[in-house]
Chains A and B, each alone.
Chain A
Amino acid sequence: MDFNDSAGEAAFRAEVRTFLDRNAERKTGKRQVFRGRYVADADGLRRAKEWQARKAEAGFAAITWPTQWGGRSGTAMEQVIYNQEEADYSVPRGVFEIGLGMCIPTMMTYGTPERHGRYVKPALRGEEIWCQLFSEPAAGSDLAGLRTRAERDGDDWVINGQKIWTSGAHFADYGIIVTRTDPNAPKHQGLTFFYLDMRSKGIEVRRIKQISGLSNFNEVFFTDVRVPDSQRLGKVGDGWKVSLTTLMNERLAVGEAPGPDFEDIFALARSLELDDGPAIRNPAVREKLADWYVKTQGLKFTRFRTMTALSRGQTPGPEASITKAVSASKLQEIASFGMDLAGMAGGVMDADVAPMEAWFQEALLYAPGMRIAGGSDEILRNIIAERVLGLPADIRVDKDLPFNQLPTGPRSARRAG
């Protein structure tokens, strides 16, 4: 065992650093990384696009993609190295991940070559932004229960319904969408997949205000939106299969929940005085710190095991599935405990009072979302139990019934759009 770069890796790392040093600003504190995740305004979007163009120009925008699609036919390890290095620089993030990580790979699989040429490179260069229209008010963990209708009308499809939790819909140029085309079929069989222009007539995007006060997500309403049949991906009725391809590509993207981690709560405990002395001397504090440290390290070394399997040409084991299941609730615990350490003033968010510019307080308010987004804690445990441990799948009472005969509760009713 060792952790050293191979000669090839070291050379690539040096190349990445040279690029980053020339084109980006090295971060001065960890918090800047966190801040960089959100694009608040038009200026932020412009900077994100500029950065993406520069990355694409240098061949770092999609390292593992084949060169003919604008990638560099690099390895997963090189992508990891790039991510590691870029994390040390203050660069905009969070705009192109969904498009390049999920939407375009789905296009590559189900689109035709002519369309690759049209959409792949503009997406790679940051000229066009993509969003993913999957979740609905009545279809979250149970995505296949979606109700947005697409009905055939000549060469077009007419879409009516509502999507929700759509990241970036308010600045996206294009979207991929899964719709119900046959309500008489069982729920997984009546779905069809399209891509569409987000500026089509009949699309209305509304921001969602989250409990954190931020608005990273949107509701998207569709009223008689016309989409040509040529924008269908996969066969009519194959929408579920296509959706799984999209989700498959999410695998590289699911990482640790961002926010204060062990090193931050450790630093806070070292800097704060409790009634009986420095917080770091308190046995209860030390015990919690130790638990979070071993979880943090356990996840890190689990990633190393996955990387090792990849670089040995083996299929990695299922251990990669635990990352978010562990890190989201850890984030929530750390955020909460960071506030506990501040005692009666723990709830204050004013930056001159709250340590680390109220990072823990902010995290407390967005951490609940991290335990739900991209697979809730409960869904992730179902997946581990079924796919990793091989336990029986849940009994699905709705599996073989026509979709339009499924029972619905008062909380599942379609909202007025």
Chain B
Amino acid sequence: MSYSDRVWVAAAPLAFRVSGHRPVIALGWLPNPQYDNAVHFLKGPPMNFDFSDDLKLLRDQARRFLREHSPPKAARQVLEGEATYDEKLWKAISQMGWLGAAIPEEFGGAGIGYEGLCVLAEELGAALAPVPVSSSIYLAAEAILHGGSDAQKQAWLPKIATGERIGTFALAEGQGNPDPARIKATVKAGRLKGCKLPVPDGEIADVAVVVAKGPDGGVGLHLVDLTAPGVTRERLKTIDPSRNHARLVFAEAAAEPLGGGAPGWEAVQALLDRAAILLAFEQVGGAQACLDTAKTYAMERYAFGRPIGSFQAIKHKLADIYIATELARSNAYYGAWAIATDAAQLPVAAAAARVSATDAFERASKENIQTHGGMGFTWEADCHLYYRRAKLLSLTIGSPPFWKNRLIDQLELRNEP
């Protein structure tokens, strides 16, 4: 961490002068063959703030695969139909080992690591993939991996890694952001009582990690088999039916504490932090997809005798989406580093990635509709699929005010002696 804590001061000249044709700043670092120095700018010792070539290859493969097997049409089919997710796609990505990317090999995973999972998350987000990856992998598998007993890990992780079983995380109990004071569900003598909503993929999941209070009032995480007696599930209507959400009612359902017992709210927050980083990659992918879509449309749609992309009102709008997306991508990369190395900075990195990515995807998805004009408001155009997903993702593990507040909380802690 020798760079990150240091202010990088460029020698910014105060040349108060501007010009019309300026590829210079935009293409910033492109080498100029006329200028020998450019050669020297391209040599140097490693600064390693990007994914490896192997992971870039994985990203390209994932992109190609999803372009074919998870076009927007796939999300639309789930949105419009009765299916709760795309089972065929789920099987395919399971077989390719994506689900187990960050699960250690001893628990049936591929052991590629978190950077690999981040790369895949970005592509899944760009494709609006209608599959329960975030619930099963970013949340349930992570909870079990970091909080479960060895027996629990052995029992569940191999099945989750292969997609044979699907997990989810049940936290919310109606209105409100994550807060231990809002948890009313209770576990007594191994029996869970309470109501959770919305639970992402609540109708699909086989097992849930449920946040509930123990007899002593302390918050803990509990494993609940959702196929067992005492569990009723009811579909919830949401703004984005391409992802399933349900109300789960537990009436004396069997529950076993995750790991040795009540790990407290800190474990819940730590879980949310890690999920925030992975979801940020989905959001960055979504934002980029919106930018690409809007750009293509702006080039093809003519008005007043010109492509609408030649009007500055549209150009500046798309430039702003680009800026927000690049900032979000860079913040997400820092999150990837933090989760991969389990860095002390993870809580700050996670909140920053979450705030930045939420802003980017929400902005990109609504301005994508705006760029499309009336066409963007039709059911037939795909714009609304991204718009729905962007909003849903911005809420799913806590809305922006929650994460902004958490970010500042963590920064205050950082400065304390």
Contact = CB atoms under 8 A, between A and B. Distances in A.
Given A64-B37, A283-B405, A373 B16 contact: yes
A321 B26 contact: yes
Contacts of B12: 97, 253-258, 374
B411 A374 contact: no
B57 interface: no
Contact of B4 (A3, A257, A324): A3
Interface of chain A, helix or strand or loop or mixed?
Answer: helix
Interface string B395-413: 0000001011101100110
A117 interface: no
Nearest to B321: A389
Contacts of A28: none
B260 interface: no
A315 interface: yes
Nearest to B45: A6
A389 B322 contact: yes
A372 B31 CA distance: 26
B44 A167 contact: no
A366 to B, nearest CB: 10
B318 A385 contact: yes
B295 A391 contact: yes
A115 B401 CA distance: 61
A372 B315 contact: no
A19 interface: no
Contacts of B310: 391-395
A380 B25 contact: yes
B22 interface: yes
Given A301-B331, A394-B310, A75 B45 contact: yes
A318 B14 contact: no
A388 interface: yes
Contacts of A5: 2
A87 interface: yes
Contacts of A326: 323, 327
Nearest to A86: B9
B44 A383 contact: no
B18 A379 contact: yes
Nearest to B10: A255
A294 B45 contact: no
A341 to B, nearest CB: 15
Given A291-B355, A304-B49, A395-B306, A251 B404 contact: no
A49 B366 CA distance: 53
A374 B327 CA distance: 21
A385 B319 contact: yes
B26 A144 contact: no
Contacts of A248: 23-24, 32, 35
Given A1-B333, A305-B49, A308-B48, A394 B26 contact: no
A307 B47 CA distance: 7
Interface string A23-52: 000000010010001000000000000000
A283 B409 CA distance: 11
Interface stretch (B124-132, B199-207, B334-342): B334-342
A384 B319 contact: yes
A336 interface: no
A286 interface: yes
A37 B306 CA distance: 46
Interface string B3-14: 110111111111
A304 B330 CA distance: 9
Nearest to A82: B11
B218 to A, nearest CB: 27
A42 to B, nearest CB: 19
A236 interface: no
Nearest to B333: A301
Number of contact residues on B: which range applies?
35 or more
Interface string B288-321: 0001000100110000001101101011101110
B337 A1 contact: yes
B49 A109 contact: no
Contacts of A253: 10-13
Nearest to A10: B2
Given A375-B25, A392-B299, A394-B312, A101 B11 contact: yes
**B310, B319, B405, B415 pick with most chain A CB within 10 angstroms:** B319
Contacts of B37: 64-66, 105, 108
A93 B29 contact: no
A3 B49 contact: yes
B3 A387 contact: no
B326 A319 contact: yes
A94 interface: yes
B47 A77 contact: yes
B88 interface: no
Nearest to B353: A294
Contact of A372 (B7, B18, B40): B18
Contacts of A231: none
Given A243-B19, A309-B50, A250 B315 contact: no
Q: Which of A74, A290, A315 has the most CB of B within 10 A?
A: A290
B176 interface: no
A4 B341 CA distance: 13
Contacts of A380: 25-26, 319
B265 to A, nearest CB: 20
Contact of A1 (B2, B50, B319, B352): B50
Given A294-B359, A381-B316, 15 more contacts: A4-B2, A87-B6, A94-B14, A143-B20, A144-B20, A248-B32, A289-B408, A298-B326, A298-B328, A310-B44, A321-B26, A372-B18, A384-B322, A385-B309, A391-B309
Interface of A: 1-6, 8-9, 13, 30, 33, 37, 64-66, 73-78, 80, 83-84, 86-87, 93-94, 97-98, 101-102, 105, 108-109, 132, 134-135, 140-145, 165-167, 188, 216-217, 240, 243-245, 247-258, 266, 270, 280, 283, 286-287, 289-291, 293-295, 297-313, 315-316, 318-322, 324-326, 369, 372-376, 378-395
28 contacts: A3-B48, A3-B49, A8-B45, A64-B40, A74-B40, A75-B40, A75-B43, A98-B13, A108-B37, A140-B17, A248-B24, A250-B25, A251-B25, A253-B13, A254-B10, A287-B401, A290-B407, A294-B327, A308-B47, A315-B30, A319-B330, A374-B16, A378-B316, A380-B26, A381-B320, A382-B319, A384-B26, A392-B307
